[in-house]
Every structure is written in structure tokens, then in C-alpha cells.
Structure 1
Amino acid sequence: MPEISVDVHISRSVNEVYDFLADARNLELWFSGVASVAESAEPAGPGVAHVYRFPGRHRDQLLQCVAYVPGEHLVFRGDRMWNPLGAQTPFYSFTLSPRRRGTLLRLTVQCRLAGALMLLAPIVAMAWRRDLPRDARRLGERLGAPHCHVIAAPRRIRTPVPALAPAVIPAATPPPLAPSVPQVHPEPQPEPRPASVPAAKERASRPAA
């Protein structure tokens, strides 16, 4: 999900800047992420939805306020938009804090990408890096503060990195054991008997003299 932010100092009070941003109809006057917003009698506030068109799209979408803290924070979420490559859902966030001579405003754009569009995340981030400083200066002009100062270049780029499954290293398999062969001890063989010696012939008894 690419996320790009830029900080800008505007020499107007926090309330003036916030009231201008909270009226979604003013977005088309300065913000490159909104081409047009239909007229609506609904007051600004959480959950309020406006019909708008995203640049380059010919169908109406809904732009809903999903966060609303008066004088501090404001977030608009656009409808999920589909195309042959996937889908994207834009978020536009504005965070304000008072300063001695005006207001410090942080503009943040987030795009949730799905499908093959995730591969184009670096290009989407590059486009917002180019456009956000221009948008901040146009906002200052609309508020009567043409010399607003962009404090920091667009930063906080986040691009989705597909999570790689950890490689599974098979455990070393011990070599198969040779089947145990029972040792057969030969039975002791009797010692061979010596060849029998033929018995001495009995001497013939001599006759007595």
C-alpha cells in the first residue's frame, strides 16, 4: 500500500484551514485526487458520503468521511475502483496542528492496491510525490496564503512487498541403518579323532621247550 505524506505551513488559523478541508466540495478546487464533487446539503461530519469522480474515471463514486476530529484530523475514503489489472481504494488524510503564525498541515495519500496493480505501486507513489507539493501550494492560494511553505518533501513511501514463505530446510536424514543380521556362532565341532592304530597282533605263544 503506497503512502505519501507532505508537510506544509499555511498562514491561516487551524479553524479556517479545517473548515475549508472538511467541506468535501472544496476538494475539487485544489486537490488532484478529486476531479469533481456533487453538490450536497449534508453538513460535514463522520459517515457523510459525497458523490465524486476520481481523475480519469467516468463513473460516479462515493467519497466518505471516515474520521473527523474538529480542528485536528480528517480522513476521506473513496470507493474501491476496479479495472482489468485489479482494484484500488484511495484514502486522503489531513492532520492539523497550530503554529505561532498559522497551521502545520500534513497531507497524506494512501492507496490500497489489489491484484496486478500491486506491481505498479512504485509508479503510483511517484505520481503522488510529484503532485502533493503542487496541491499544497494550490490549497494555500485558495485560502489566501499564496506563500505557504512546503516544509518537507514527500516522504514515507511504502510499497507492498509480497511476503515470502520461509524456506523449509529438510532436516538431515540419517543414513538408513543396515538391517541387523543376527550373528550366528557356529557350534563347536568335536576334535577329529586320530586315526585308529590297529591293535598289535597277539604274539603267538611259544611252545615250552
Structure 2
Amino acid sequence: MPEISVDVHIGRSVTEVYDFLSDARNLPLWFSGVDTVAEGSEPAGPGVTHVYRFPGRHRDQVLQCVAYVPGEHLVFRGDRMWNALGAQTPMYSFTLSARPRGTLLRLTVQARLTGALTLLAPVVAMAWRRDLPRDVRRLGERLGAPHCHVISAPRRVRLPISASAPAAAPTTVPPAFAPPAPPRPQLRPEPRPEARPAPRPEPRPASVPAAKERAPRSAA
């Protein structure tokens, strides 16, 4: 799932920026990920759906607000879109925080890919890396702050691991505040008993033949 983020400083208050972003009808005015949004009377909020078109497609899709924290966080998720290679589901996230001279906005785009489209994840990520800096500058112009400052573009890129590549073995990284592990006791091998040479057999005395009995001498 490619994921791209960009941080931008806009010289407008958090309320002004959030009110503009929460109205999905404003997305086509500056955001390259949305082509058109149909007019609707529903106010912004969680669960509210909008009919929109993704760039390059001619069928209407549903864009739903799945997260809504006024002045802080906003997430829109598009319908799953199918083609001959697979499917993709786009998600657009906006996180805001107040700054002394305006608002810090973090725009994150995610694209969940299935099928053969996963092989095109680097191409999708490359397109968002190219378009997001332009989009946030166009947003600043729409809000009357043309000198918005792009802090990082992109903030991070995360790509899926190819199914054909062998999965790397999981590694466990201890946190920085964890105490060092105690050293393992080194076990010394038990000394083996020295091999003693087998005792040599004592030499047996040679057998002495018995003395022949002398025949008695005959008397002269």
C-alpha cells in the first residue's frame, strides 16, 4: 500500500483551513486526487457520503468521510475501483495543528492496491510525490495564502513487499529506554579425565625345565 505524506505551513487559522477542507465540494478546486464532486446538501461530518469522480474514470464513485475531529483531523475514503489489473482504494487524510503564524497541515494519501496493480506501486508512489507539492501550493492560493511553505515533500513513502521476493526474517529491536540485557553466563566445559595408558602386562618368567633325574651309579 503506497503511502505518501507532505507537510505544509499555511498562513491561515486552523478554523479557516479546516472549514475549507471539510467541505468535499472544494476538493476539485485544488486536489489532483478528485476530479469532480456532485453538489449535496449534507453538512460535513462522519459517515457523510459524496458522489465524485476519480481522475481518468468516467463512472461515479462514492467518497465517504470516515474520520472527523473538528479543527484536528479529517479523512475521506473513496470506493474500490476495479480494472483489468486489479483494484485500488484511495484514502485522503488531513491533520492540522495551530502555529503562531498559521496552520501546519499534513496531507497523507494512501492507495490500497490488489491484484497485479501491486506491481505498479512504485509508479503510483512516484505520481503522488510529483503531485502533492503542487496540490498544497494550490490550496494556499485558494485560501488567500499564496506563500505557503512546503516543509517536506514527501514525508515518507511506504511500498508493499513483492510477493515473489522472499520475506525477510522478523527482527526485534529493543526500545531505546530498555535496560541492557544482562550478559549470559559463560559455561565452561567440564574437564575430561585424562586418558591413562593401559598397564603393560608383566613379563612372565621363562619356564625352567625340570632337572633330569640322574640315574644311580652302579657300584664298581
TM-score, normalising length: structure 2 = 0.74
CA distance in 2, matches of 1:129, 1:62: 25
Q: Deviations over 1:34-61 (max 9, x none)?
A: 0000000000000000000000000000
Post-superposition shift, 1:89?
0.1
Tell me the residue number matched to 1:147.
Answer: 147
Across the aligned residues of Structure 1 and Structure 2, the Cα RMSD in angstroms comes to 1.3
The one-letter amino acid of 1:70's match is P
On the 8 A contact 2:132/2:153 being kept in 1, the answer is no
Runs of 5+ consecutive residues of structure 2 not aligned to the other structure: 170-220
CA distance in 1, matches of 2:41, 2:57: 24
CA distance in 1, matches of 2:168, 2:129: 33
SS at match of 2:88: strand
1:14 matches 2:37: no
CA distance in 1, matches of 2:153, 2:24: 25
Post-superposition shift, 1:156?
1.2
The one-letter amino acid of 1:16's match is E
SS at match of 1:25: helix
Greater gyration radius? 1
1:108 matches 2:108: yes
Tell me the residue number matched to 1:72.
Answer: 72
1:87 matches 2:64: no
CA distance in 1, matches of 2:155, 2:168: 30
Post-superposition shift, 1:162?
3.6
1:161 matches 2:131: no
Tell me the residue number matched to 1:97.
Answer: 97
What number of residue pairs does the alignment pair up?
Answer: 167
Q: Identity rate of aligned residues, in percent?
A: 84
TM-score, normalising length: structure 1 = 0.78
Runs of 5+ consecutive residues of structure 1 not aligned to the other structure: 168-209
The one-letter amino acid of 2:69's match is V
Tell me the residue number matched to 1:41.
Answer: 41
The one-letter amino acid of 1:17's match is V
Post-superposition shift, 1:166?
7.9
SS at match of 1:155: coil
Tell me the residue number matched to 2:123.
Answer: 123
Change in CA separation of 1:103 and 1:165 when aligned onto 2, cut-off 3 Å: closer
On the 8 A contact 2:46/2:67 being kept in 1, the answer is yes
Change in CA separation of 1:165 and 1:98 when aligned onto 2, cut-off 3 Å: closer
Runs of 4+ aligned structure 1 residues displaced above 2 Å come to 162-167
CA distance in 1, matches of 2:168, 2:20: 49
The one-letter amino acid of 1:147's match is H
CA distance in 2, matches of 1:17, 1:46: 18
